[in-house]
Every structure is written in C-alpha cells, then in structure tokens.
Amino acid sequence: MEDVLATTDGIIDVHGADQEALVEILREVNEVSGHLSREQMQRIASRLSLPLSKVYSVASFYSLISLEPLGKHVVRFCQDAPCHVVGGQQVWEALEHELGIPFGATSLDGEWSLLTTSCIGACAVGPVMMVDSDIHGNLDPQKVREIIARYRGEERSGGIV
Ligand code: FES
C-alpha cells in the first residue's frame, strides 16, 4: 500500500497539488494503478484540500476511471443511442455470450471486465467498443468473436479482420 500511495503522491506532485488538476490526477492514478482505491482517493483529497465526497463524485462520474480492481482486459461498450440503433443490442448480447459474464462483471479468472461507457466520439463507426485502449468500430456479433479471440491469442480459421 505504501508503494501505491507513493506513486499517488508522485502524480499529485507533478500537478503541484492543484485542485484544478483533479480530473487529470484521478485519470493518471487510475491508469498507473488499474483502479482508484479508497486510500488513494483519501490521499488525493487530503493533498488537494478537498472533501473526500468531492473526489469520489468526480471519480465515479468518469466511466474510464474505475473504483474497483478490473480484469487484465477491459471491454467498454458504448451504450449511447447512435451506437444502439445500428445494432448495439446484438453486439451487447454477443459480448456477454463470448465472455461468459454480464455487463458490470469481471470474470472469475481475472482476465476480462465487461463495462459500458457513454459516447467515445466514434459514432460514425458504431457500434463501438474499447478493449483496453484500442477502439473497435462497425461491430457485429461475428466481429466481436474475432476481436475477443485475437486478445485471447487464439487462431481461428477465416482470419481476423
Ligand atoms: S454514440 Fe457510440 S461512439 Fe458515439
């Protein structure tokens, strides 16, 4: 825990413990640690002289910041209307089926977390999902299977698009 808090302190220091940099600090700590723990949020609140409730509410607002440990691969599927109307429901079902977990869950082996996100600005190629930091568009159930297989390192006949 001390290492994690030292890393958190380092990120806060880079931003001069500036309250205006709260979102950036939260984003960077999340990126380095994989998620934000209560202890990290308490440290950020204390160092920035902000109430913990403020830090928590900002952290929980952003879908790219997680308050819980996530899987090795994190799928974030866009649930907004422009993606939904071009086949999002079928992709949603294909993701749950392929990963064997419902949205909001992490697989028992710790390999996958399946989450939703609001628009990520790629509506022109919807339905869209992010896998880790990669954006995948024009999804359909078959393409979902191929993409997930690629992350699993599997080879499938027919190739990967
Ligand atoms: S609505 Fe899905 S990326 Fe914009």
- Return the CATH number at 99: 3.40.30.10
Cβ contact 75:111 at 8 Å: no
The pLDDT > 90 percentage for the chain reads 84
Phi, psi dihedral angles at 101 (to 5 degrees): -140, 150
**Mean per-residue pLDDT of the chain:** 92
State residue 34's pLDDT score.
86
Cα–ligand 1 centroid distance for 40 (angstroms): 31
**Position 154 confidence tier, pLDDT thresholds 50, 70, 90:** low
144 and 81, same structural domain?
Answer: yes
Q: 57: buried, middle or exposed (CB in 10 Å: 19+, 13-18, 0-12)?
A: exposed
- Residue 127 Cα, ligand 1 centroid: separation in angstroms? 7
Give the nearest ligand 1 atom to 78 CA: 2
- Calculate how far, in angstroms, residue 138's C-alpha sits from the geometric centre of ligand 1: 11
Atom of ligand 1 nearest to the CA of 122: 3
Residue 16 belongs to a domain: yes
pTM score of the predicted model: 0.77
Task: Quote the domain boundaries for residue 11.
Answer: 2-61
Residue 13 lies in a domain: yes
- The proportion of the chain whose per-residue pLDDT surpasses 70, expressed as a percent, equals 95
CA-closest candidate to residue 102, choices 115, 85, 111, 89:
115
Q: What is the pLDDT of residues 45-102, one digit of tens each?
A: 999 999 999 999 999 998 889 998 999 999 999 999 999 999 999 999 999 999 999 9
